[in-house]
Amino acid sequence: MRKRSRLSRFNVASLALGLAFLYLPILILVIYSFNASRLVTVWGGWSLRWYHEFFGDRAMIEAAWMSLKVAASSASIATLLGTLAAVALSRGERFAGRTLFSGMLYAPLVMPEVITGLSLLLLFVALDAERGFWTVTMAHTTLTMCFVAVVVQSRLGSLDRSLEEAAMDLGCDPVRAFVAVTLPLIAPAIVAGWMLAFTLSLDDLVIASFTTGPGSATLPIRIYSEVRLGVKPEINAICTLVIGLIAVVIVIASLASKLSSAQGESAAPL
């Protein structure tokens, strides 16, 4: 006998409406990016016109390139630092300043971006650092390493501790046990952490606005200043490209994590 479905009509309806709400606006945006008409709201047939326009727009291309560079470098540094932080928090037991350390790692997760951005800018000004690629990268690293730390820490927390003990029992010192057993097992979470850091950096407007200097605007900064002036079809095209890029990153990363942990060790989705 089949078990009676636990889904009520109300459940189905709220799921359907919820998902529609989440996806329709993005879908509409993507469709309109192929609109031939200059008027955003009038459908003038399919066209790649706005993509051509974007690739002809040097300022936009430069901003996009800048964003990609910042995202890739900050995500990589953040993944390294965040993983180290997660290891220290989940395996370090008690140590001096632990509470401060975990507080500093959790706070940026929910700290309003305006505050983080402002404080970092004041630091860079005080140090008289030239603002540009490196300041944005450092700012993004600071923010995203916290996300990496949380993702990796939750994976480390759910890992069976007896795996590490077994490695030691079989002749590994603690560091080699970590490298031989723990690291491969948390690899999916590390990959997920990098992905998250990359997309967060690619996405960030506020912190980048504070910490960047003249002549090195990131893509969100460019998009933002364009959007403030009104809707432009070219922006639709750029947005679609970004969505496409992020989709590719997600697919590659989830494939990678599937391969690295082929055995049902599911990657943390967030």
Partner 1 sequence: MSARRIFARPARFAAIAPYVWMVLLFLVPFAFVLKISLSQTVIAQPPYEPVFDLTAGRASLEAAFAALSIDNFKLLVSDDLYVYAYVRSLTVAVTATALLLLIGYPIAYGMARLPTRWQAVAMVLVIVPFWTSFLIRIYAWINILQHDGLLNQILLALHLVSQPVVWLSTDSAMYIGIVYSYLPFMILPLYATLAKMEPALEEAASDLGAPPWQAFWLVTFPLSLPGIGAGVLLCFIPIVGEFVIPDLLAGSNSLMIGQTLWLEFFTNKDWPVASAAAIILLVVLLMPLLLYERLQRRQLEQGR
Partner 2 sequence: MAEELPKMEAAAGVADVETHLALDQPLLRIEGVAKSFGTFRAVDGVSLDIRAGEFFALLGPSGCGKTTLLRMLAGFEAPDEGRILLGGKDIAQALPHERPINMMFQSYALFPHLSVRDNIAFGLKRAGMARADIDTRVAEMVALVKLEGLEKRKPNQLSGGQRQRVALARALARRPQLLLLDEPLAALDKKLRESTQGELMELQRRLGTTFIVVTHDQEEAMTMASRIGVMNAGKLAQVASPRELYEAPRSRWIAEFVGDVNLFEGEFKLRDGHRLVIATRDAGTLVVAEPRQPTGETRLSVAIRPEKVKLSRRGPVSEAGRETAINQLDGVVADICYLGGSTTYKVKLDTGGIVQASVANSARLDADAYSLSQHVVAWFTPDDCVVLPP
Chain positions 49 to 78 lying near partner 1, rule: CB under 8 A, are: none
Question: x/- site string to partner 1, residues 159 to 178, per CB under 8 A?
Answer: --x--xx--x-----xx-xx
Instruction: Select from partner 1, partner 2, none the partner in contact with residue 172, using the beta carbon and a kind-dependent cut-off of 5 to 8 Å.
Output: partner 2
How far CA 142 is from CA of 14, 72, 113, 139, 203, in Å, comes to: 38, 14, 12, 5, 15
Q: How far apart are the first and last CA of the chain?
A: 37
Asked if residue 37 binds partner 1 (CB under 8 A), the reply is: no
Encoded tokens for 82 = 């965040």
* C-alpha span between 262 and 266 (Å, rounded): 9
Query: Which listed range, 4-12, 48-56, 58-66, 256-264, lies at the site for partner 1 (CB under 8 A)?
Result: 4-12
Instruction: Select from partner 1, partner 2, none the partner in contact with residue 170, using the beta carbon and a kind-dependent cut-off of 5 to 8 Å.
Output: partner 2
Instruction: Select from partner 2, partner 1, none the partner in contact with residue 179, using the beta carbon and a kind-dependent cut-off of 5 to 8 Å.
Output: none
Encoded tokens for 52 = 């051509």
Other beta carbons less than 10 A from residue 156's beta carbon: 19
Asked if residue 226 binds partner 2 (CB under 8 A), the reply is: no
If binding means CB under 8 A, how many residues of this protein chain bind partner 1? 99
Instruction: Select from partner 1, partner 2, none the partner in contact with residue 113, using the beta carbon and a kind-dependent cut-off of 5 to 8 Å.
Output: partner 1
Q: How far is the CB of 184 from partner 2 (least distance, A)?
A: 5
Site for partner 1 in 93-152 (CB under 8 A): 93, 95, 97, 101-115, 118-120, 122-123, 125-126, 138-139, 141-142, 145, 149-150
DSSP SS3 for 93? coil
Which helix (H) or strand (E) segment holds residue 256: the answer is helix 233-260
Site for partner 2 in 170-199 (CB under 8 A): 170-173, 176, 180-181, 184-185
* C-alpha span between 179 and 107 (Å, rounded): 29
The nearer residue to partner 1, 37 or 260, going by C-beta atoms, is 37
Site for partner 2 in 249-268 (CB under 8 A): 260-265
Listed in sequence order, the residues at least 6 apart from 168 whose beta carbon sits closer than 8 Å to its beta carbon are 174, 177
Question: Phi, psi at residue 12, to the nearest 5°?
Answer: -60, -45
Which residues lie near partner 2 (CB under 8 A)? 160, 162-163, 165-173, 176, 180-181, 184-185, 260-265
